[in-house]
Amino acid sequence: MSTAKKEYKRVTVKSLVDMKKNGEKISMLTAYDYSMAKIVDAANVDVILVGDSASNVMAGHETTLPITLDQMIYHASSVIRAIDRALVVVDLPFGTYQSDPKKALHSAIRIMKESGAHAVKLEGGEEIKESIKKILNAGIPVMGHLGLTPQSIYKFGTYTVRAKEEEEAVQLMKDAKMLEKIGCFGIVLEKIPAKLTKVVSESISIPTIGIGGGKHADGQVLVIHDLLGMTHEFNPRFLRRYMNLYEEMSTAISNYVDDVKSRDFPNDEEQY
């Protein structure tokens, strides 16, 4: 397998399929605001996901269910203003696509028109097939999301690994093939056994992007706050923290408070 890296000035849905063909792993990270997206894009991350995890890390909700379409559009348009290279994919939030395909198309069109995003992501398989087809027919690229789908957390009851049992694994494979067949350009596989990720990834031509799906996915995605260590209560096995920003930020902010209280800040050079 080739590990040669082609330069992509601008990442498109086609670039991702090419990366898979060429054996180049795909990097994807979340971002929800302008300043963070600017850094993520400049670091050459291939795909920026404006995830509905904004509901957790930006708004402090326990689940991804409360975030609204208007709020997702706000986050997505802030991200779009920052990027030069990455493909920007936006989650359709809970309640905006499950009930009927027309509503799904309306929600996807609002995201594309009002934020300038490049693609949308929807959670689920067979049960949302008609919604996905409707969006694809309008020329909007769609990324699927299988395995642990956080919008269904109350159905699952827990955030543990999905598709460990044969029946669920078989259904996941069927769903992945269906998503490929109807025209999705990629699929997020969340918290499933690495062996299943391998079989799925080898069975379809579109890229799989893992989060807790192991090393055989065609790419990886993490929530930026987790990667940077801004969150610290959340410690799943799949997470690699590249920084401990929670501690670094806390120390910096405490130092600022001390300096203000002690009249050390501002000093003579820091005033007009």
| Distances 199 to 164, 177, 192, 205, 218 between C-alpha atoms, Å | 13, 12, 12, 12, 12
Determine, following the binding rule CB under 6 A, whether residue 223 of this chain makes contact with ligand KIV.
Answer: yes
Query: By rule CB under 6 A, what count of residues binds ligand KIV?
Result: 11
Report how far residue 47's alpha carbon sits from residue 58's, in angstroms, rounded to the nearest whole number: 20
Asked if 227 touches ligand KIV (CB under 6 A), the answer is no
Point out which span in 49-57, 101-109, 237-245, 248-256 binds ligand KIV (CB under 6 A). Answer: 49-57
52 binds ligand KIV (CB under 6 A): yes
Q: Where are the alpha helices (DSSP H) in 193-244?
A: 194-203, 224-227
For residue 120, state whether it binds ligand KIV (rule: CB under 6 A). no
* Backbone angle region of 163, left / alpha / beta, with phi > 0 → left and psi within -120 to 50 → alpha: left
CB nearer to ligand KIV: pick between 16 and 211: 211
What are the residues facing 143 on neighbouring strands? 121, 186
In three-state secondary structure terms, 195 is: helix
Site string for ligand KIV, 172-201 (x = CB under 6 A): ----------------x-x-----------
114 is catalytic: no
Q: Cβ closer to ligand KIV: 11 or 187?
A: 187
Q: Residue 250: which residues within 8 A CB-CB, separation 6 or more? A: none
Task: Please report which helix (H) or strand (E) contains residue 208, including its range.
Answer: strand 208-211
- What minimum distance in Å lies between the beta carbon of 28 and ligand KIV? 8
Between 56 and 204, CB nearer to ligand KIV? 56
CB of 195 to ligand KIV, least distance (A): 20
Instruction: Name the catalytic one among 126, 168, 190, 247.
Output: 190
Residue 45 Cα distances to 37, 107, 118, 222, 235, angstroms? 10, 26, 15, 11, 23
Does position 111 interact with ligand KIV (CB under 6 A)? The reply is no
For residue 209, give the 3-state DSSP assignment. Answer: strand
Question: Which 8-state DSSP code applies to residue 124?
Answer: B
**105 lies in the binding site for ligand KIV (CB under 6 A):** no
Shortest spacing between CB 245 and ligand KIV, in angstroms: 18
Contact between 211 and ligand KIV by CB under 6 A: the answer reads yes
- CB closest to ligand KIV, residue no: 51
Residues that bind ligand KIV (CB under 6 A): 30, 49, 51-53, 91, 188, 190, 211, 221, 223
Q: Which residues are annotated as catalytic?
A: 190
